[in-house]
A and B are shown apart, each in its own frame.
Chain A
Amino acid sequence: MSRRCSLCFCISQAKNCARIDDCRLPARRNSVAWHDAAGSLRNGFCLREQESPPTERRDNSREQESPLAAAGQQQAIGSAERTCFMIFALIKAQWISLFRDRMAMALTFALPCVMFTVFAIIFGGNGGESEVSKVKVIAVDLDQSRVSSKMIDSLKSMDQLLVESLPETPTEKSDASNDPRMAAAKLVKTGKAAAAVVFPVGLEKSVALFGAGEDRAGVEVIYDASNPIAQQMLTGVLQASAFTSMPDILITQGLDQFRTLAGPFSPLQEAAVATLKTFASQEPTDDANEATGGMKAMSMSDGLVRIQSTPAAELFTETAPRAGKITSQNMISYFAAGISVMFIMFSMSGAASGLLEHEEKGTLERLLTGGLTVFRLLIAHWLFYVLLGVAQIGLMLVFASIVFKLDLWHGPQLLGSAVMAIVSSMASAAFVMMIATLCKSRKQLEGLSSIIILIMSAIGGSMMPRFIMPKFVLELSSVAFNAWAMDGFLDVFWHYIPGESILLAIAREVFVILAMAAAFLAVAFVSSRRWAVK
């Protein structure tokens, strides 16, 4: 009665077969040849009962060369070792195919770096050192007063604005050219300026007339609807400059209102008001500070409340366990992560189309008639995609660190980005594999994957930061694994507090991403059953 060998799992008459040469166990390979019951010298043959006498089989040389065929041995199907060999062989074949395809190599590794460079320059500058382009604003001073002059000077002091006056010579003959307001509006409308600020007649009189009514003169901002940012920025800047550029005027106007309501001041009060006006109109100097007995601790031009901006990362520099300063967060790290996550999906999608190509050519069928099962086939391809993604993300981050000074080469950042690269690749690989198994042809895959990946990249924050997106888009992005991947990378590069565990910091994202990867793989295995036996 046949039993399964306990060593190599072939079917044998004996508990341990004499399958020596082909045995995976080194100890048994070193054993000597043995004699069978008939006294014949055997080497490497299983004790399986033969279906025909050995003399009817082929010659011994063929038997020894193909122990499977000659001796009728049975393979140790399903052994973990053989599975690993097959999977490794498939992964190796795919890597070689990729390396020999120069266009695929360029698209996989070079193109993401190019795209990242473009995004980094646009949004992050060259490590934050490049000049930021200014917003051009046309100032139309119809009031010609101290108030309007002060406010225009305040606008000119802003680094992000380029304030210019209207050209003196009208550029075109029209009625509008005689109206400075319309002339400025025309410049904005034609794109020659981002916005125009009109200071109307009577502005000085209406300053600080709080609650004076709707007919009081006000500053008008004429803006280009295609650039609403300029309008929002100017509105805020103008209000701030109104309070900071003319404190003496505010005080004068306010006191005049007070006189109107409460009656005239006494001579002593008038003298004090005069002193206050002088004080408010002066620029801060050390002498003035000493003269006022230290009252003027800061300039009135600082506004009612002094505001100081501090990057959060700088607050933790003293508690950093290592020497050196943490590089301030910038858009470089954001887009390094965003472009990486987006492009691993694209490159894996391209690789997955190879799976369908093999199906169309019959290679897949051939593999499945051998020792390969659908499960092993998918695992091999999934592992290849994961390795591809890790290599791609790694190259991108190294490139970003070298060219754009991404803060990568510190322990927590290195560990965190490595973990995120691995789990992101795992999820992305599972995702594209799921799509590939659901598609019936390469054309279906190419069309469907492009749309899905672009949408996911958009809502996931690969192209633009999610914090500027509407609320419902933010909620929608929670189903995109790349959004969680972005959050994880930001935890590594933006939100990490030195001294704490980087793995704990990204634990939530890692867990969610791995869960999604498992779900994608499950769907892929179910939908790949079309490749199984029908």
Chain B
Amino acid sequence: MNKPLIVENAVRSFGDRKALNGASFELRKAEFLALLGPNGAGKTTLIRSIAGRLRLDRGEIRLHGQPVVPGAKTAETARLGIIPQNIAIYENLTARENLDLFGRIFEVPSGQLRERINRALEWTGLADRAKEPVSGFSGGMQRRLNIACGVLHKPDVILLDEPTVGVDPQSRQRIWEMLKQLQADGVSIVLTTHQLDEAQQICDRIVIIDNGQTIAAGTFDELLDASVGRRRRVTFTLGGIVTALPSGCESRSDRSATFSVDSITADLTSRLSQFREAGIEVTDVSIDVPTLQSVFLHFTGKELRED
């Protein structure tokens, strides 16, 4: 199955409000897909629909080729892992007890449960604290355990809802490493996140959702080409006050000048040569690289956290 998850024209309303209004996307095998959107875009509704917890008004969701029937427990849904945004574990239980509980709930074969728990503890770096109540864990540790509890049954498709919210950079890095390991094992991953820089670097493809609709989907380069383009804005910091600048300057101040270039390799060298020939000293060069933030703003017209 090359596309373990397919969402087609998903529509779901809550009263008069349409949370999903035709959202569609496909998840490929062993792909790391980022699902981006401002608050209220429909991301959580979409994830709950994929998990079978919400019934769509229209549209279809297919998991491993089979339609997802809300409420029904099938072999396909058994191969799905959900990691919620909340740290949904039992704080009075130890890490091992939490894994044991969720392993049984998600029907991990009893003969394999103990081994999988041990591996999960090693994987999350919690082996030496396996017998301590989770309430004493840091946020990052709880997040890692939260993920482990959701993948103990070794799903093929994992949905993560903001898995790194509220954790320190080290823990966040650790979590990303864990997810990349899963991807290397062939797991297909969908995650929602507000960490655009990380989504840009880690994820294979990006789907942008707004107002319940898919407004853009593709790799970062594809989205870049479809939005702000690949041109870079280069700002030269000048050594002194310059009155005459080479042509093509888009903006300037007393001590800086900004140009747009298509190729860093060719155009930057050319611009530096122009400054040298004009006798203008350049003390610094900064390149404004288009980011997912600028792509996102281009498509949605709003900041990621805007209501």
A57 to chain B, nearest CB (A): 8
- Given contacts A62-B186, A66-B154, A77-B74, A366 and B107 within 8 Å (CB-CB): no
Is the CB of B51 closer than 8 A to any CB of chain A? Answer: yes
- Minimum CB distance partner of A92 in chain B: B101
Which of B52, B73, B93, B116 interacts with A75 by CB under 8 Å? B73
Scoring B residues 141 to 173 as 1 if CB is less than 8 Å from chain A, else 0, what string do you get?
000000001100111100000000000000000
Q: List which A158-208 residues lie within 8 A (CB) of chain B.
A: none
Whether A410 sits at the interface, judged by CB under 8 Å, is: no
A105 to chain B, nearest CB (A): 12
Contacts of A532 in B (CB 8 A): 71
* Cβ contact within 8 Å between A69 and B100: no
Contact status A534-B93, CB under 8 Å: no
A69, B54: Cβ atoms closer than 8 Å: no
Check if B133 is an interface residue, CB within 8 A of chain A. yes
Across the interface, name the chain A residue whose C-beta is closest to B92. Answer: A97
* Cross-chain contact of B153 among A57, A66, A73, A361 (Cβ < 8 A): A66
Evaluate whether A51 and B1 lie within 8 angstroms (CB atoms) in the complex, with A68-B79, A69-B155 already known: yes
Partner of A73, one of B54, B55, B75, B105: B75
CA of A77 to CA of B76, assembled, Å: 12
Considering the complex, give the chain A residue whose CB is closest to the CB of B109.
A22
With A and B bound together, what is the CA distance between A101 and B91 in angstroms?
11
Interface residue B185 (Cβ < 8 Å from any Cβ of A): yes
Binary per-residue interface labels of chain A (372-384) against chain B in the complex, 1 for a CB within 8 Å, 0 otherwise: 1100000000000
Q: Taking the complex as formed, is B111 at the interface, i.e. its CB lies under 8 A from any CB of chain A?
A: yes
Q: Which residue of chain B lies nearest to A357 when distances are taken between CB atoms in the complex?
A: B91
| Given known A96-B93, A365-B84, contact A85–B156 (CB-CB < 8 A) | no
Contact B75 A361 (CB under 8 A): no
Question: Closest CB of chain A to B290's CB: distance in Å?
Answer: 36
Q: Are A62 and B107 in contact (CB under 8 A)?
A: no
Shortest Cβ distance from B186 into A: residue: A58
Nearest to A71 among chain B residues (CB) is B75
List the B residue with the shortest CB-CB distance to A23.
B109
A363-B105 contact given A62-B186, A69-B156, A75-B78, CB 8 Å threshold: no
Query: B93, A93: Cβ atoms under 8 Å?
Result: yes
Of the listed residues B93, B116, B149, the one surrounded by the most CB atoms of chain A closer than 10 A to its CB is B93
A65 adjacent to chain B (CB < 8 Å) = yes
Interface mask (A31-60 → B, CB under 8 Å = 1, otherwise 0):
000000000000000000001100001100
A481 to B253, CA, bound (A): 83
Residue contact B154 to A62, C-beta cutoff 8 Å: yes
A370 part of interface (Cβ distance < 8 Å):
yes
Chain B interface bracket (under 10, 10 to 19, 20 to 34, 35 or more) = 35 or more
Q: Is the CB of B52 within 8 A of A369?
A: yes
Interface size grouping (class) on chain A: 35 or more
- The reply to whether B107 and A82 form a contact with Cβ atoms under 8 Å apart is yes
Give B228-284 interface residues, CB cut-off 8 Å to A.
Answer: none
Q: A75 contacts B154, CB within 8 Å?
A: no
Known interface pairs A75-B107, A365-B53. Does A96 touch B70 (Cβ–Cβ under 8 Å)? no
> Inside 8 A of A96's CB, which chain B residues have their CB?
92-93, 97
Interface: B129 (CB within 8 A): no
Query: In the complex, are the beta carbons of B53 and A93 less than 8 A apart?
Result: no
Q: Using an 8 Å CB-CB cutoff, how does the interface string of B77-91 with A read, 1 for contact, 0 for none?
A: 011101011111110
A74 touches B92 (CB 8 A): no
Q: How far is the CB of A287 from chain B (nearest CB, A)?
A: 81
In angstroms, Cα B173 to Cα A8, docked, is 42
Q: Does B125 contact A (CB under 8 A)?
A: no
Residue of B100, B105, B133, B155 touching A367 (CB-CB under 8 A): B105
Q: Flag whether B286 is at the interface (Cβ < 8 A).
A: no
Q: Say which residue of A67, A74, A372, A533 sits within 8 Å of B52 (CB atoms).
A: A533
Question: Is A72 among interface residues, defined by CB-CB distance under 8 A?
Answer: yes
- Given A62-B185, A77-B74, also A371-B106 (CB < 8 A): yes
CA distance A15 to B150 in the complex (A): 33
- Residue in B86, B88, B89 with the greatest tally of chain A CB atoms within 10 Å: B88
Known contacts A69-B155, A365-B84, A366-B84, A11 near B75 by CB under 8 Å? yes
Complex interface: chain A residues within 8 A of B155 (CB): 69
Contact A533 B93 (CB under 8 A): no
CB of B100 within 8 A of CB of A89, answer yes
**A311 close to chain B: CB less than 8 A:** no
Cα–Cα distance between A66 and B150 once the two chains are bound (Å):
14
Q: A97-B92, A369-B52, A370-B105 are in contact. Are A65 and B112 (CB under 8 A)?
A: yes
- From B55, B82, B154, give the contact of A369 (CB < 8 A): B82
Q: How far is the CA of A465 from the CA of B164 in the complex (A)?
A: 59
| Whole-angstrom distance between the Cβ of B52 and the nearest chain A Cβ | 7
Contact with A74, one of B75, B110, B154 (Cβ below 8 angstroms): B75
Q: Are A533 and B53 in contact (CB under 8 A)?
A: yes
Q: A534 and B54: CB pair below 8 A? A: yes
A240 close to B (CB within 8 Å) = no
**Do the beta carbons of A90 and B54 come within 8 Å of each other?**
no
By the criterion CB–CB under 8 Å, are B53 and A68 in contact? Answer: no
List residues 103-132 of chain B with CB under 8 A from any CB of chain A.
Answer: 104-107, 109-112, 116
A58 close to B185 (CB less than 8 A):
yes
Residues of A near B64 (CB, < 8 A) are 51, 72
Q: A362-B84, A362-B86 are in contact. Are A370 and B107 (CB under 8 A)?
A: yes
Choice from A68, A97, A361, A534 contacting B87 with Cβ under 8 Å: A361
> Which A residues are CB-close (under 8 A) to B65?
51
Smallest CB–CB gap between A82 and chain B, Å?
Answer: 6
Nearest CB in chain B to that of A97: its residue: B92
Q: Does B53 lie within 8 Å of A75, measured CB to CB?
A: no
A388 contacts B by Cβ under 8 Å: no
Select B154's contact among A22, A69, A82, A86, beta carbons within 8 Å: A69
Among A11, A21, A89, contact of B105 (Cβ-Cβ < 8 Å): A89
Least CB separation from A70: chain B residue: B154
Nearest chain B CB to A60's CB is how many angstroms away?
A: 13
Judge whether A332 is part of the interface by a CB distance below 8 angstroms: no
B102 touches A68 (CB 8 A): no
Given A51-B64, A77-B74, residue A93 in contact with residue B52 (CB < 8 A): no
Min Cβ gap B130→A in Å is: 14
> With an 8 A cutoff between CB atoms, is A471 at the interface?
no
A100 within 8 A of B: yes
* Smallest beta-carbon distance A32→chain B, Å: 17
Q: Known contacts being A11-B75, A68-B78, A93-B93, is A366 close to B100, with CB within 8 Å?
A: no
Closest to B48 in A: A365
* Interface flag for A222 (CB, 8 Å): no
Which one of B54, B107, B149 lies within 8 Å of A371 (CB-CB)? B107
| Contact assessment for A69 and B106 in the assembled complex, using a CB-CB cutoff below 8 Å | no
**CA gap between A97 and B74 in the complex, in Å:** 31
Q: A51-B1, A96-B97 are in contact. List 19 more A-B contacts (CB 8 A).
A: A21-B109, A52-B1, A58-B185, A69-B154, A69-B156, A72-B64, A85-B104, A89-B101, A93-B90, A96-B92, A96-B93, A100-B92, A100-B133, A101-B92, A365-B53, A365-B84, A369-B52, A533-B70, A534-B53
Which residues of B are at the interface with A, using a C-beta cutoff of 8 A? 1, 51-55, 64-65, 70-71, 73-75, 78-80, 82, 84-90, 92-93, 97, 100-102, 104-107, 109-112, 116, 133, 149-150, 153-156, 185-186
User: What are 11 A-B contacts with C-beta separation under 8 Å?
Assistant: A66-B153, A69-B155, A89-B104, A96-B92, A97-B90, A365-B88, A366-B82, A369-B82, A371-B105, A373-B73, A532-B71
